[in-house]
Homo-oligomer: A and B are copies of this chain.
Amino acid sequence: MAKHKTPRVRQLEALMAVINNGSVTAAAADLGISQPAASRLLADLGKEFGFQLFNKREGQMVPSQEVRLLQPDIQRVLELMRQISEVSRDITNRKAGHIRIACLPGFATSHLPDIVADFLQDRPGVSMTIEPDRPERILEWMIGEQFDFGITDGFVGHPAVDRQDVQVRSVCVFPDGNELAEKSVISPADLAGRSIIHTRKESDFYLQLSRIFQDAHVALNSRIEVRQFTAACELVCNGVGVSVVSELDAVKYAGRGLSFRPFAPSLPHAISLVRPTLKKPSLVTLEFIEYFTKSLQPYLIAP
């Protein structure tokens, strides 16, 4: 069997340069090398190919028919090579890559989109997958390494998953114009008798909330049970009642028919930021996680 010696890219570059410039001298200048260097690249390539590359005609180097046959392929190779180095450069500049994020449905519609939009602003090469689902599913995905980053809550821990917990402040939300706006801080007593919209009774957040009301000897007037803070906010906007939600969601609705005030005693909304332990994260992923964590800072309960 004959040796499959592929030509070198440099030779192909020289070839295309001559085709485009019409002379070896001009091609050499174009490539930024000396004329003999180009001359030799061509001589070598011609020898390896086994046929004439150019026909001299009235001072012009005219590509032979054989070369013309190969020209499209050669052009594509050079383009691809250029693209590869370009993309690799973008990657190191954290400007390209793909990040797969799994999150709770609430996040997919409130805080996360804003942050993602900001992040992608000056990273045109970066793409993302955002997949909202239940916490158990998110855990599975992390273990299976199908996602790079997860935002969940009520997380119990797993050896294959790195976690970082943050505690977001909770606030009391009420319709614009409600007399609660006169208070600077809202306590359970202030909500006595009011219709309260809250998360699922099994949720950790609701358990904490009801305990606080219990400790304050105030009856929790449960009106509507929702799955997400955003749904609660929507309902509050519609005047159905008041609620205690994560400040992250509250700020999104402020100015859209809803006001909020701090809620005391402190009721932390615990979020876990998770990552597959074994999977080495890409540079963009790390950068995004850092970016996202920073975006949460203003809403965190000081440790």
Contacts and interface: CB of A to CB of B under 8 A. Distances in A.
Contacts of A52: 280
A279 B54 CA distance: 11
Contact of A66 (B2, B4, B83, B283): B283
A221 to B, nearest CB: 50
Contacts of A134: none
Contact of A81 (B6, B82, B278): B6
Interface SS of chain A: helix
A264 interface: no
Interface in A235-284: 278-283
A49 B80 contact: no
A227 interface: no
A84 B70 contact: yes
A51 to B, nearest CB: 6
Nearest to A281: B65
Interface in A63-103: 64-66, 69-70, 73-74, 76-77, 80-85, 87-89, 91-92, 96-98
Contacts of A48: 88
Given A52-B280, A73-B83, 12 more contacts: A2-B89, A8-B9, A51-B282, A57-B278, A65-B98, A65-B148, A66-B91, A66-B282, A69-B98, A70-B84, A70-B87, A70-B88
Interface of A: 2, 4-9, 12, 48-52, 55, 57, 64-66, 69-70, 73-74, 76-77, 80-85, 87-89, 91-92, 96-98, 148, 278-283, 285
